[in-house]
Amino acid sequence: MKVVAEEKIKTLLTRAVSEVIIRDHLEAALKSGKKLRIKLGIDPTAPDIHFGHAVSLLKLRQFQELGHQAVLIIGDFTARIGDPTGRMEARQALSSQTIKSNLKNYLKQIGKIIDIGKTEIHYNNKWFGKMGAQEFYNLTSSVTVQQVMKRDDFRKRIENNHDIAISEMMYPLFQGYDSVMIRADVELGGEDQKVNLLMGRRVQRAHDMPEQDVLTTRLIEGTDGSKKMSKSSNNYIGVAEKSDVMFGKIMSIPDSLILKYFEALTMVPDSEIEKIGLKLKSGENPKNIKMQLAGEIVKIYHGEKKAEKAALEFERVFSKKEFPDKIATVILSDEGRNILNLLSEMLLVKSKSEARRLILENAVKLDGKIINDPRAKISIKKDAILQVGKKRFVKIKIK
């Protein structure tokens, strides 16, 4: 029994982990049998959780499985102020109602990964909402500008003459104060969060509290295979995506990411992953292994059955080039109409100009037959499938 626990602790401290500070301290604490308080902060401004977040959440789950107390911090305070990071982008503060409804979604998504029933959830507006100026002042005194500016993206922005709002510099402080309020023993986060997480230690120290250990998880690259997964790079896979879409997106990652994804996004045991690594090396078609990967991941969010269905569907549409199982259906009268109008009415294209281009690129098919004349008049006599590119389909029913 004890051996199993040691094994788990090892996995906890190494798998998909970028850095542990202070490693020896945390390891000792884990072995002491003490129930630790593990903090993870969530920013409720993003519309949904993606696999980048899932890495830390899976790590939190591992802590839970060892009997530790998961503590989620929902950053509703900062969300209400409005996040200044995305320059130009909507700065308007989210209404508390939007935040509330977002949260519901969040918890549903997060609940697929961790055991929400055993998780403490705190909204940091609870303490920041009524924080006085004096207290705020004290908080700002616990850290220097230089310390905050260590963050890489701040440094780069200074170099490139991009602006940094003072409120942005306050973020790490707020985050650190959260650690004080919930008396965190450990804080989790992506490796890009390191400076912020370390700030928690500083703020705790300033509040005469034992300093939390910090565990950063590896960042994963998105579907493009090069940039880290993020909403702004549009290379993310959302936790809430439909099983088919999720499966397909996982299949589109470069082969080189397969093992990393296995480690960071599945619960497949280390020993198993090692074997998979060997298979890859010995020349097995990576497609098969990627299929397995996709199945494992989809299973977490949608269950075994849907994962299997998604695999079949994938084979059907992309390997065999057949039509998908389920296609959005539109009912139309059978009068003839211009192909351009048809495409834009079906919302398969953004504009008629785009439609024209796609047609000239041989991307538009009706029942599998290429339409290459933008002026074609189409009259549909019986049900048909209209297709643009490889991924856009609409089934037309005649009424």
Partner RNA sequence: GCGCAGGUGGCAGAGCGGUCAAUUGCAUCAGACUGUAAAUCUGACGCCUUCGGGCUACGGGGGUUCGAAUCCCUCCCUGCGCACCA
Q: How far is the CB of 246 from RNA (least distance, A)?
A: 9
Cβ neighbour number for residue 153 with a 10 Å cutoff: 13
Strand partners, 74: 42, 123
Cβ nearer to RNA, comparing 80 with 249: 249
Residue 252 and residue 246 in contact, taking contact as beta carbons nearer than 8 Å:
no
Q: Which stretch binds RNA (CB under 7 A): 4-12, 13-21, 220-228, 300-308?
A: 220-228
Interface with RNA (CB under 7 A), residue from 354, 366, 376, 385: 354
Q: How far is the CB of 355 from RNA (least distance, A)?
A: 7
Q: How far is the CB of 167 from RNA (least distance, A)?
A: 13
Interface with RNA (CB under 7 A), residue from 104, 375, 382, 399: 375
Q: Does position 251 bind RNA by CB under 7 A?
A: yes
Q: How far is the CB of 312 from RNA (least distance, A)?
A: 12
List, in order, residues 6 or more apart from 315 with CB less than 8 Å away. none
Distances (CA, A) of 17 to 354, 366, 399: 44, 49, 57
Cβ neighbour number for residue 72 with a 10 Å cutoff: 22
- Amino acid identity for residue 255 in this structure: D
Residue 45 and residue 85 in contact, taking contact as beta carbons nearer than 8 Å:
no
Cβ nearer to RNA, comparing 105 with 252: 252
Residue 184 and residue 39 in contact, taking contact as beta carbons nearer than 8 Å:
yes
Cβ nearer to RNA, comparing 32 with 319: 319
List, in order, residues 6 or more apart from 243 with CB less than 8 Å away. 298, 301, 302, 306, 307, 309, 310
Q: Does position 351 bind RNA by CB under 7 A?
A: yes
Distance, CA of 48 to CA of 238 (rounded, Å): 7
Interface with RNA (CB under 7 A), residue from 19, 255, 272, 325: 255
Interface with RNA (CB under 7 A), residue from 32, 146, 161, 282: 161
List, in order, residues 6 or more apart from 280 with CB less than 8 Å away. 255, 258, 259, 286, 289
Q: Does position 140 bind RNA by CB under 7 A?
A: no
Q: Does position 254 bind RNA by CB under 7 A?
A: yes
Residues interacting with RNA, by CB under 7 A?
88, 158, 160-163, 224-226, 234-235, 247-249, 251-256, 285-287, 290, 314, 318-319, 340, 344, 350-354, 356-358, 361-363, 374-375, 388-392
